[in-house]
């Protein structure tokens, strides 16, 4: 290569990160094509109706629901970066609710089944989940306990060969459509953190009541349920993982959930950025493209800096996660920062669009409403700050 070529600045250079291989690129293309062809065209409609269950079946057929699960369970046998690719490409469907519904299934509810489940549980729950034949949800939050997971009240009491479950869960994504729930319960209220147990509960079990669909600020295409459990009897082999270890199991689960959430936040922010850049190059005011005003140009520079910083944090943390580390501090930083900048970027993108940004048809207001959830779900900003602060011994 000639020196002149080397020294020439290249603002268009590909943003491929070292964690991704050619195989990831091919996967990205294939998921991206599917998302743009089969999901994005329905974004408006699904905001009104919630997205159909057939999305899971279709994604199961295409192999997208088990990217990093072993082939013996119907998965693709890929690495963790494949899940990052999925989370990033799902942002192209223009509907945070669809991306969230799928992510709850692939990266929140099924990972504990894979890691802690017995072989029988994997055959009964993981295999059909990967195929898109069963839909899953995860039940941690309750009307009286969200951030304070240890404060949950849902009780599971042993009765012979069975457990009897009573309690309620709220804000449960996929709760109306799910075939099963990974349910966090208390089995021994006097045992502190050693008193929690996870269960796999079929949602058609007697005593499981799917109460009203909850109305939300954003994520309209997803279903969010208030659930009640009234004397639900499950066999003792419905315990997922170890009796009394449910708190630790779910704390492990939350790390993957947060990192995938962070990847989705960055991808959503990038989507808004790209769309707004296009607008700033087309829209004219006072005789010139609005993007050529220095104040607008600097807004893009600020946004690009935030997005790129968050992306690097997510990728580096994903690399550590893939290589067997459990970097809670870094995952919390990535989740906190990515969620915050996604809201800031969406807000700035509305501003750059002017009145059009406030209009539904443009879709930027939806990005703002959808991304707002990420500062709350899977651990609020305040909880992330506390985890990070405590990791320094404070």
Ligand X SMILES: Cc1cc2nc3c(=O)[nH]c(=O)nc-3n(C[C@H](O)[C@H](O)[C@H](O)COP(=O)(O)OP(=O)(O)OC[C@H]3O[C@@H](n4cnc5c(N)ncnc54)[C@H](O)[C@@H]3O)c2cc1C
Catalytic residues: 257
- Determine how many CB atoms are found less than 10 A away from the CB of residue 51: 25
CB of 102 to ligand X, least distance (A): 12
CB of 216 to ligand X, least distance (A): 5
Pairing of strands 224-235, 196-202: unpaired
Q: How far apart are CA 216 and CA 136, in angstroms?
A: 21
E strand or H helix at 367: helix 364-372
CB of 100 to ligand X, least distance (A): 7
* Shortest-Cβ-distance residue relative to ligand X: 146
> Which residues contribute to the site for ligand X (CB under 6 A)?
104, 137-141, 146-148, 171-173, 216, 219, 224, 373, 376-380, 382-383, 386
Closest to ligand X by CB, 83 vs 224, is 224
Here the tokens at position 274 are 């790209």
Closest to ligand X by CB, 150 vs 285, is 150
Closest to ligand X by CB, 164 vs 214, is 214
E strand or H helix at 390: helix 381-390
Closest to ligand X by CB, 148 vs 237, is 148
Residue 185 Cα distances to 82, 249, 281, 364, 367, angstroms: 31, 12, 53, 39, 34
| 197 close to 248: Cβ distance less than 8 angstroms | no
| 206 close to 145: Cβ distance less than 8 angstroms | no
CB of 173 to ligand X, least distance (A): 3
What's the CA angle centered on 18, arms 15 and 20, to 5 degrees? 85
Closest to ligand X by CB, 254 vs 303, is 254
Q: How far apart are CA 211 and CA 219, in angstroms?
A: 19
Q: Residue 165: beta bridge partners? A: 156, 232
CB of 321 to ligand X, least distance (A): 20
- What are the backbone dihedrals phi and psi of residue 236, each rounded to the nearest 5 degrees, phi first? -60, -25
Closest to ligand X by CB, 99 vs 383, is 383
CB of 86 to ligand X, least distance (A): 18
| 391 close to 328: Cβ distance less than 8 angstroms | yes
Q: How far apart are CA 263 and CA 36, in angstroms?
A: 19
């Amino acid at each position: 290569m000639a020196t002149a070529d080397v020294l020439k600045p290249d603002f268009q250079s590909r943003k491929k990160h070292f964690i991704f291989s050619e195989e990831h690129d091919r996967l990205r293309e294939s998921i991206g094509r599917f998302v743009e062809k089969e999901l994005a065209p329905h974004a408006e409609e699904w905001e009104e109706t919630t997205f159909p269950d057939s999305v899971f079946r279709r994604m199961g057929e295409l192999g997208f629901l088990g990217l990093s699960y072993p082939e013996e369970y119907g998965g693709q046998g890929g690495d963790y970066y494949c899940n990052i690719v999925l989370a990033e490409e799902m942002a192209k469907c223009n509907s945070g609710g669809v991306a969230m519904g799928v992510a709850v299934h692939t990266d929140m509810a099924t990972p504990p089944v894979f890691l802690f489940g017995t072989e029988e549980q994997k055959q009964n729950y993981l295999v059909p989940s990967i195929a898109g034949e069963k839909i899953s949800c995860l039940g941690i939050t309750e009307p009286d306990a969200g951030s304070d997971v240890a404060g949950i009240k849902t009780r599971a009491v042993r009765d012979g060969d069975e457990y009897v479950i009573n309690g309620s869960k709220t804000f449960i994504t996929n709760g109306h459509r799910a075939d099963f729930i990974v349910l966090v319960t208390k089995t021994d209220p006097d045992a502190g953190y050693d008193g929690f147990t996870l269960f796999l509960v079929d949602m058609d079990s007697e005593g499981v009541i799917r109460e009203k669909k909850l109305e939300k600020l954003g994520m309209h295409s997803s279903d969010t349920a208030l659930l009640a459990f009234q004397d639900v009897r499950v066999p003792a082999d419905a315990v997922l993982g170890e009796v009394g270890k449910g708190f630790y199991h779910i704390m492990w689960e939350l790390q993957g959930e947060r990192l995938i959430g962070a990847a989705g936040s960055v991808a959503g922010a990038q989507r808004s950025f790209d769309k707004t850049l296009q607008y700033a190059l087309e829209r004219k005011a006072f005789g010139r493209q609005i993007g050529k005003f220095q104040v607008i140009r600097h807004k893009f520079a600020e946004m690009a800096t935030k997005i790129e910083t968050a992306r690097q944090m997510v990728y580096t943390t994903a690399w550590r996660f893939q290589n067997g580390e459990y970097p809670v501090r870094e995952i919390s930083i990535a989740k906190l920062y990515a969620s915050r900048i996604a809201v800031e970027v969406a807000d700035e993108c509305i501003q750059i669009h002017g009145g059009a940004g406030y209009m539904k048809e443009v879709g930027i207001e939806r990005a703002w409403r959808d991304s707002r959830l990420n500062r709350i779900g899977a651990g609020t900003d305040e909880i992330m700050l506390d985890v990070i602060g405590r990791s320094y011994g404070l």
